Amino acid sequence: MTETLPATESLEKLVASLADNKLFLGRRYAEWCTAAPTLESAVAAAAMAQDEIGHARSLYPLLRDVAGESPETEAETRTEFINVDFLNRPFEGWTDFVAANFLFDTALSVLLDSARESAFRDLGSRARRMLEEEPLHWLHGEGWTRRLAGRGEGVRQALIDSLNRVAPDTLAWFDLAAADLVTAGILKAGAAELRERFRAQVNEILTPVGLPAI
Amino acid sequence: MWEVFARRKFEEPLAHVGTVAADDPDLALVYARTIFNEFTWVEMVLYPRASSVTAVST
């Protein structure tokens, strides 16, 4: 479908960041398909990896639409990925997995939720489709966060350390929701509002179990 | 431990499809949905095994 889009740097960055972060989050999840602490969570890790990589696969064609055809708009030939830094390295432990699942996966969904009715209709339709799969990711992240918070001081501290490693990049990532994207109707809310929505959602889980609010 | 029941059509009865181990209902739900995903179910329900009532035991 051909659409008239504002050819902005912000839009290109938005689509590229969503695609790259979904791809790298999927890769990191996939590394735990055989290493998760229970067989059940290994299957969940595999399913979530498949979801995220599938989402990335559906987003790269949009990058081609907004940035033009080039090796940099194809997942297989792209070299200048703009994913958040903590996804550049394998998770050091299960608490890192849980922190990324609980915080960053949720942040991606909060931003996608503001694109449901995007003026960039192809992004809106993909956002709605992706968000159908995300409730299970949220349940997995919040379920494990609550579980680990009650598993003794060592585990609890490891979780806090992991959350502290993931939270800064996650909060900063919302800067992607630039004001001109809201003005153009591509996103419904800007960075500050999305960050607050995200904080409200995760703090509703963190605070009752005595974990530091984000 | 949670017992998982599901059906593919509303006119069919719920059938036992397996079990999942989880501490809480949220994680049990995630595990059931990701493990027993071989069909497009119209309904899936979970029961904690601890709540079962034994009617016959041999």
The predicted structure's pLDDT at residue A91: 97
Q: Look at chain B and report how many structural domains it folds into.
A: 1
Torsion over CA: A165, A166, A172, A176 (sign):
positive
| CA atoms of B30 and B26, how far apart (whole Å) | 6
The predicted structure's pLDDT at residue A41: 94
With both helix axes pointing from N to C terminus, report the angle between A105-113 and A191-206 in degrees, rounded to the nearest 10. 130
The predicted structure's pLDDT at residue A7: 53
Q: Is B35 on the interface with A (CB under 8 A)?
A: yes
Partner-chain contact B31 A40, CB within 8 Å = yes
Residue B56 lies in a domain: no
Residue B25 lies in a domain: yes
Residue B38 lies in a domain: yes
Burial of A140 (0-12, 13-18, 19+ CB in 10 A): buried
A-chain residue closest to B34, CA distance:
A44
Domains of chain A: 9-209 (1.20.1260.10)
Residue B44 lies in a domain: yes
Residue B58 lies in a domain: no
> Which one of A29, A32, A33, A40 would you mutate to disrupt binding with B, by most B Cβ within 10 Å of its Cβ?
A40
The predicted structure's pLDDT at residue B58: 87
Partner-chain contact B31 A43, CB within 8 Å = yes
Q: Is B44 on the interface with A (CB under 8 A)?
A: no
Partner-chain contact B30 A44, CB within 8 Å = yes
Give the A-side interface with B, CB within 8 Å: 38, 40-41, 43-44, 46-48, 136, 139-140, 142-144, 146-147
Partner-chain contact B26 A142, CB within 8 Å = yes
Q: Is B26 on the interface with A (CB under 8 A)?
A: yes
Which chain A residues have a beta carbon less than 8 Å from that of B20?
40
Complete DSSP assignment for A21-83: HHHHHHHHHHTTTTTSSSHHHHHHHHHHHHHHHHHHHHHHHHHHHHH-SSGGGSTTT------
B4-39 pLDDT, tens per residue? Answer: 999 999 999 999 999 999 989 999 999 999 999 889
Which chain A residues have a beta carbon less than 8 Å from that of B44?
none
Q: How is residue A86 annotated by DSSP? A: G
The predicted structure's pLDDT at residue A6: 61
Partner-chain contact A43 B24, CB within 8 Å = no
> Where in the sequence is the domain holding B20, given as residue range(s)?
2-51
Mean pLDDT per segment of 10 residues, for chain A of length 214 residues?
Answer: 65 97 98 93 96 96 92 92 97 97 98 97 96 96 96 95 98 96 95 98 97 96
Residue B18 lies in a domain: yes
